[in-house]
Structure 1
Amino acid sequence: MRGVMTHSAVIMTFMLLTEMASPPGAKEMARLRERARAGRRGAFVALVASISLLTTVQLIADRATTREQVLPQALLSLGVFAVAVPALALTQVVWGVRARMVRRREQELYAFVRSGRARPLTRLAVAAGWTVTLLLGWTVPRFFREAAWYTFADALAWTVEVLSVVSVAAGVLFLLWLARDVAMAVARALRSGGSPGDPWDPGLGTRARKGAVLWTGAVVAVVALLGARAHLWEPATGIVYLLLAAALVCGVVTDE
């Protein structure tokens, strides 16, 4: 009996000694990182949906043969653009706030910021998405002219001119901000000694690889739609709808 108790005590002692306690704040960091990843997914889903929907509607409008057929597509294009701009802004603000919370907490816990190493490239991708969305939106007045809504088209054209000036100014500020961000990232990398790591961080894993494949599919579908919008190829209307469905499905599936 004493031997059994001694054996049990040895096992319990070994389990207690080998059990590694989580680092301070590790569970909190895991939650913050997951929220930041969810914000990032939401921002990219909004971007993919906005560009693919707007491109598809305008492709169908281009193929209309009468004014009566153009008008519903023109109204739909304007509606999609009016919803897309605030949706993109909102989702990207949420993503940015959550990402800053992660970096701030990493700095407090580890005196090192591990997150955001690909931030300059990500911001360039987001800026490219904004540029494409705005360029598609600037073409909306043309569809109202084709629908013989000339007064409304002129008013939209004036609004587009004002917004284009604001967009150019925002683009210049963005480039200055990006240059400063890159310089700061390089300076941190040069003076940093490395991160102690976080064993509770789930890492990439198979789910991330699955997400990468789906995001690639969404990007390919969006690029194909943009190529058709630029008249680089002329897919059938059915293929246009299939590409739209592929972009939306791939984006929604990755937003788990």
Structure 2
Amino acid sequence: MTYMVMTKIAPPPGAQAVAGLRARARTARRIALIALTGSIALLCAAQLLAERAAGTPAALPLAVLALALFLGALPTLAITQAVWGARARETRRREFALYAASPASPLRPLSRPAMACGWALVVLLGGALPPLFADAGQPTVATALARAITVACAVACSGAGACLCLWWARAARGMPPRAGRSGGSPGDPWDPGPGAHRRRGAVLWAGAAVAVAALLGARAHFWTPPTLLIYALLVATFACMVVTDE
């Protein structure tokens, strides 16, 4: 009888809205992670193929493709991560207004350093573009590109570092009190969260991370995979990210 009565209790005003905001924040996080992981994988694969095509007619088109991917990755990462941050902040504000507590997540403090490391990898891959044009028989383009990337990356990295520090300091100063060790907002049974999908999503994301690490290792010349394996790793990365719903 007690169970039947409790199941009929309506959620407090705003609980369903908070559940919707959490779902939107999770979707934005997933899109941002797909953009970051996919950008690194595509850049590695394109640069590996361009490097192997040095001295052939395909070298220049592949170098141009790698440059286009780099130029497209920067705004994509900025937009997707900005949307994720905005939705996460809105969710935390509504949680604090409704529950006077925000769910404790042990991985939340690691999200910003992880994204910063991802940006650093993209920047490093961008710095490896000029030699591809030199190997493709375009030394003038390679020299101009090296200067442009050096200046642009220096300015962008300085600005991004300053913004990250300010963002982190503001978040640490205005962080609301967290809930207990259970990790959930008190009295909130109406938003079960990912639930059973979490373990499968973690396995798939781990598979994508392994594939990207293999591509990065090949780009750093730690090992030399065959061309077909490069394509297979790229396909595996996107397959894992598309299949997961977490």
Q: TM-score, normalised by structure 2?
A: 0.88
Q: For the structure 1 residues 124 and 182, does the alpha-carbon distance in structure 2 shift closer, same or farther, using more than 3 Å as the test?
A: same
What is the identity, as a one-letter code, of the residue corresponding to 1:215? W
Of 127, 150, 157, the residue aligned with 1:161 is 150
Q: What is aligned with 1:120? A: 109
- Which residue pairs with 2:85 in the alignment? 96
Contact 1:43 1:92 in 2 (8 A): yes
* 2:235 is aligned with 1:245: yes
CA change 1:39–1:19 in 2 (3 A) is same
The equivalent position to 1:216 in structure 2, one of 206, 211, 215, is: 206
Gaps of 5+ in 2: none
2:26 to 37, 42, 53: 37
Distance 1:254 1:191, change over 3 A: closer
8 A contact 1:222–1:247 mirrored in 2: yes
Rg larger for? 1
Matched, 1:71 2:79: no
Residue 181 of structure 1, CA deviation: 5.7
Q: Quick check: 1:120–1:178 contact (8 Å CA) kept in 2?
A: no
Q: How does 1:22-33 map to 2 (within 5 A)?
A: 22-33=11-22
The alignment's C-alpha RMSD in Å is 2.8
Asked if the contact 1:103/1:115 (under 8 Å) is kept, the reply is: no
1:236 is matched with 226
Count of paired positions: 244
**Deviating runs (4+, > 6 A) in structure 1?**
none
Question: Could you state the TM-score of these two structures normalised by the residue count of structure 1?
Answer: 0.85
Q: 1:195-233 deviations in whole A, cap 9, x for unaligned?
A: 424111123421121111110000010001001111111
Question: In structure 2, how many angstroms separate the alpha carbons of the residues matched to 1:191 and 1:201?
Answer: 17
**Structure 1 residues 91 and 17, CA gap change in structure 2 (3 angstroms):** closer
Matched residue of 1:235: which SS? coil
| Closer, same or farther: CA 159–88 of 1 in aligned 2, 3 Å | same
Structure 1 unaligned residues grouped into runs of 5+? 1-10
For the 8 Å contact 1:67–1:146, the answer to whether it is kept is: no
Q: Distance in 2 between matches of 1:71 and 1:191?
A: 57
Which of 126, 144, 150 is equivalent to 1:137?
A: 126
Quick one: which amino acid aligns to residue 180 of structure 1?
A
1:226 is aligned to 216
1:202 to 170, 192, 200: 192
Given that 1:211 and 1:254 are in contact with CA atoms closer than 8 Å, whether structure 2 keeps it comes out as yes
75 and 53 in structure 1: CA distance in 2 versus 1, 3 angstrom threshold? same
**2:101–2:176 CA contact under 8 A, matched in 1:** no
Higher helix share: 1
